[in-house]
Structure 1
């Protein structure tokens, strides 16, 4: 066997190459392994080890920390104590007694496949082409036709210790074979070297793909279905945005979900073909697929140009039927020791002419669910091209979906953050108070859309907060009604809906009454009074459609209640915002939407307004150097503390939590105590 350091280096490199190409395997799907020797630090003697991708990792991003490390002799000795297929789940716990040293990552259910197969390097992958062959009704005969005895068919068996024994025996009986097609599931390949194992994996994947391309029927999904083709781009996106909040409300019946939307051409092609209802009803097959997509999607049975209101009505009916059907599926197969039903809402919703909406506990989960269903569409296309799509049966799907091992994995997930599943739109958020609020909301688990007049700065601010699964930046002129609607649409298409709206966009010109022009007045009222109104109005439509309640927060000002010098336009606009809070709280309460305000004062450091010249002018009004303005403001407060953007962010976060579930119409001063601005 090879040296351990070289073995691990080669394994990581092979895994990353295979995982980086979606034709080879789906996200977090499959696993790779290698066997080699290291010196046992206790005995000083060489020890044979197995390095295998651990539970929950992803091949494309795998590092050494993601490998489980087991002693090969002990792992193979488990064969002698194996209690049989009815108790094979017990073997996962037994892997812990085979770990070497600290053992690395937790061993996965597929560990036996890698340890028991007599090959130095083993790959188990979920390629679309391989699963297409694995789910073809005559997959076994096709495997023989395509590969002869070079690749062996393995009938469906749930992943586990017995499958490892089966593949080990097949390799022993077929020394000429380079791998297997696992019925309903995927492929396994092996080699004496890492390069050979990788080459064998790619040979199987590419050979099946070429066979499908050369021999497949030209319309595997059937003839085009009149009226179900893709809508034009702009019309498609508009309809998707109009449906997204309503759909999110439906699929959040059991628990709140985050959404993802795609109008990938392959999805639109599938939905525009005659056979899509039959194929969608069959559900997915590979365990990695249906664990994330549920056994089947919800499919709207209306043509692409059906009016939005008709779509909503029909979607509500189909959703109720889906829940009944899923509950019946659970009751058909559950036993007394089955885990409780996890929820009856769909994870995938397909809308002809528009695209696919996918859902999960966070954006990444929702996005990956959609990617997996796209994998399933590719699988169905391949299987139907050369045969008939025949996924594993419903009972087997249930055995995996409600597997005790899967339940244990879910139980190990970390507790969600306070704002998990909530989606926030923050205006004027590329800098200052808005950026601080967006950063805090994201840190507490929310998905955040940063809207700002400057698209480049908005994108940079979002990138500084996290990946696109956490924060996105968009351009938005809050004075433009069309631009505001586009911003709300962008939010609901990015994350599925909207829960929190922060009206923060603002500016100020410090001038006396006689110096203030009508243009000065109009500009500040357009951005803050009109802008807040437009944002709240567009967001309220989505919030009401969604039916999940929500929060609208206005970043007003101490100046909304305090009369200071040389500030008429700004203070009047802020007073307008402050009264909007009261008016909207009264109007939107019946929809569960809370509307509250925050009144900051003296935020100098990090403030976009102060950096834009306001600070210099206010410093001149008060007769202090600009660099001392923050300290000056602090000294005039009751607490003698400088107010920072993060202090306003703290208040915004608090207002969105369950601790303030019964509070609406409130203005929260964040000014370190300005007695003249006390609310009366």
Structure 2
């Protein structure tokens, strides 16, 4: 095993300005490991997680890390050199041992004996399986030979913007040579694979003693004798690149040629984004529902408002990791054309983009290329406002935005020190439509029933609303959690973060009696996800009093929240759905009281009846827009409900001559099925309407009350 370039000076967190030094020796020393190789693997994971925690070093899912150590062959007991490397599809920032592939190094090296050349290199991927040491390994990635053919114990392959900026510069090779005094080698662009692994090994043989290799248009390889030395070597090289770029920004010309326009004020950017996002989502969802993401990050604004935008944006990205997630180039909007009715302009802009993408595919395809994929843009740039990205789910859309921001950083750096170069179209196509990438896509889990859908459920911080939001999230939807109770909303926000992470929900303070509050909530949906497909009117209030005790304030509160609230929320939701032109669903959580006469219930029961008939009227009106309106009628859903706290429960108990404690059993006993109704039962009914099987159903009422004969629809 070859010795690596040694560290020359001690380092600490103060050594670096452009990257984060996160290594903690006490933590590293305490890592588990009963054998030398277990220890090396633990250090590999520690190093990988530290590197992945800094997006200046590599992007989500990008890059690869490895270590080599001697381990016993399970059949012979003899020590053999084994390489542990991030497996296919993993992310070094969250990498665990289960995400590693472990392979015999000697078998990897022996694959050179059966390699038939560049035209056949893809067939080598299957042969990696013959090199597996740990049968519980993750599938080896295409980067396996790149690490296996280099003789170092610890290797980092990252995609830092600062290094790629130099790698993508017209004079990148010369700059690398001069900047590092020959200590960093150079390999011209080559698609990741077996051949690139051989070229890396040859570069090292031609330049013994180097501390790393720059890959043209691609990224960086660095290494060390220990995990720590590899980590510090990586940081030092990237820091040097970043310092060099910083010293050149604005030196020969303004960044991106200077500003062509000024950005709008932050509040105006958000308003413009909210207004346009549903329309853009509709265009981008012409083949399948997409989820959106919006950012007005300062780095994005600097690029999209610049004089160089029109020159650089069509060139596309350079690093394969970038354009695999962002497509070959973005759609750039003309702000002047978006004033007023922009339909004709957007029709033309999207048609032109799709035509260009079709031409790109037709010109570059091979006889065995996969079928053309969705021809709509992933990245949409709106000068003065920000960047939209659209993809199959929120995480993919957000990551696409991160990657295009990386691409902006690369263009900025390359233009500062030389001239930015992108990959030739054919090379880009061969990555985008690589058969190995296609196979990876085919192995991905099938989408859930509500994948690509966005739901706004009023009153979703607790009770029935929260159960509906959870059910929809479980089925793949993005949800806007809302309530007028800020403490309850904060608790729901934390609960959803804990269960679903950062990309499944957004929150909004919502008072359904106030139009401004409703519009703000739908703006949250538009900016966070691109729009809305499902509106569930669930926010409620209950007041049970005899007629003579009912006040005008009681009446107004019931009708404002239940009827007016349902009307205004539906109105705002339909406005968004019409912008998208994708149809949609409105579900109204009403009550069996809409159909049944009972004592002490004049205000609540009549308001529920109004909700029910309003649903029928909306269903009749909105069918032409392919917007379905349906009703779920619960009864006596007591669990986790604010409605049942206090006076309402007392009023109903008094009306039926029982105690509050006896109410659940009383309600269950009076039903045909004798069942207690839970929030999850209502959530399941809602999913039945929107899950796809009832796509041609509108104007219906589904009772979920355990069977109350008086409430049968007739």
TM-score normalised per structure 1: 0.98
The equivalent residue for 1:653 is 687
Deviation at 1:145, TM superposition (A): 1.6
- For residue 126 of structure 2, the aligned residue among 78, 93, 113 is 93
Offset of 1:112 from its aligned partner? 0.4
Of 455-464 and 60-69, deviating more is: 455-464
Deviations 1:381-418 (A, max 9, x none): 10111111101111000000000000000000011111
Aligned partner of 1:142 among 155, 163, 175? 175
Structure 2 counterparts to residues 127-138 of structure 1, below 5 A = 127-138=160-171
Q: Does 1:209 align with 2:234?
A: no
Residues 307, 391 of structure 1: CA spacing in aligned structure 2 closer, same or farther, 3 A cutoff? closer
Which consecutive residues of structure 2, in runs of 5 or more, have no partner in the other structure?
Answer: 2-34
Query: In the alignment, what sits opposite 1:431?
Result: 462
1:486-543: CA deviation from partner (whole Å, max 9, x where unpaired): 0011011111110000000001111111111000000111111111111111111100
Instruction: Indicate yes or no: 2:601 matched with 1:593.
Output: no
Q: Is 2:705 aligned against 1:671?
A: yes
Question: Aligned to 2:506, which of 469, 472, 483?
Answer: 472
Q: Distance in 1 between matches of 2:653 and 2:586?
A: 32
3-state SS in 2 of match to 1:100:
coil
Q: CA offset at residue 607 of structure 1? A: 2.2
- Secondary structure of the residue aligned to 2:135 is strand
Q: Whole-Å Cα distance in 2 between the matches of residues 612 and 53 of structure 1?
A: 56
Q: Match of 2:663?
A: 629
Please state how far the C-alpha of 1:312 moved relative to its aligned partner. Answer: 4.6
Equivalent pair of 1:230/1:268 in contact (CA under 8 Å): yes
CA contact (8 A) 1:246 1:312 kept: no
Aligned partner of 1:223 in structure 2 is 258
Secondary structure of the residue aligned to 2:134 is strand
Q: Does 1:333 align with 2:368?
A: no
Partner residue of 1:387?
418
Residue 141 of structure 2 aligns with which residue? 108
Aligned to 1:416: 447
Which residue, out of 419, 435, 455, partners 2:486? 455
Distance in 1, Cα, partners of 2:582 & 2:459: 25
Aligned position for 1:514:
548
Is 2:68 the partner of 1:35? yes
**Within the alignment, does 1:604 sit opposite 2:635 as a pair?**
no
Q: Which moved more, 1:216-225 or 1:367-376?
A: 216-225
User: What's the TM-score once normalised by structure 2's chain length?
Assistant: 0.93
Out of 331-340 and 455-464, give the one that drifted further: 455-464
- Post-superposition Cα deviations, 1:53-75, rounded to whole Å, max 9, x if no partner, equal 11111111111111111011111
Distance across 2 between alignment mates of 1:253 and 1:343 = 9
Partner residue, 2:12: none
Is contact 2:338–2:345 with CA below 8 Å preserved after alignment?
Answer: no
Structure 2 contact 186–203 (Cα < 8 Å) conserved: no
State how far apart, in whole Å, the 1-side matches of 2:145 and 2:107 are: 12
Asked if the contact 2:156/2:221 (under 8 Å) is kept, the reply is yes
Deviation at 1:311, TM superposition (A): 4.4
Q: Helix, strand or coil: the match of 2:257?
A: coil
Residue 5 of structure 1: aligned partner: 38
Partners of 2:338 and 2:510 lie apart in 1 by 28
Which position in structure 2 is the counterpart of 1:239? 272
**SS at the partner of 2:661?**
helix
Q: SS in structure 1 opposite 2:536?
A: strand
Equivalent residue in structure 2 for 1:50, among 83, 96, 113 = 83
Equivalent residue runs for 1:557-576 within 5 Å = 557-576=591-610
**Contact 1:300–1:314 under 8 Å retained in 2:** no
Alignment of 1:487-498 (within 5 A): 487-498=521-532
* Larger deviation, residues 646-655 vs 621-630: 621-630
Residue from 314, 323, 326 that aligns with 1:281: 314
Shift of 1:606: 2.4
Work out whether residues 281 and 297 of structure 1, in 8 Å CA contact, stay in contact via their aligned partners in 2: yes
| 1:229 Cα deviation after fit | 2.0
Once residues 338 and 441 of structure 2 are traced to their aligned partners in structure 1, the CA distance between those partners, rounded to angstroms, is 40
Q: Is the contact made by 1:289 and 1:376 (CA closer than 8 Å) also made in structure 2? A: yes
Shift in Å, 1:103:
4.3
| In structure 1, C-alpha distance between the alignment counterparts of 2:199 and 2:256, rounded to whole Å | 34
Query: What is the DSSP-based 3-state SS (H/G/I as helix, E as strand, rest coil) of the residue aligned with 1:339?
Result: coil
- The answer as to whether partners of 1:300 and 1:350 remain within 8 angstroms in 2 is yes
Offset at residue 260 of structure 1 (A):
0.7
Tell me how far 1:41 sits from its aligned partner: 2.9
Corresponding position of 1:440: 471
Q: CA RMSD in A?
A: 1.3
Which residue of the partner structure matches residue 109 of structure 2?
A: 76
DSSP 3-state at the match of 2:684: helix
Which runs of 5 or more structure 1 residues have no equivalent in the other structure? none
Choose from 345, 358, 364 the match for 2:395: 364
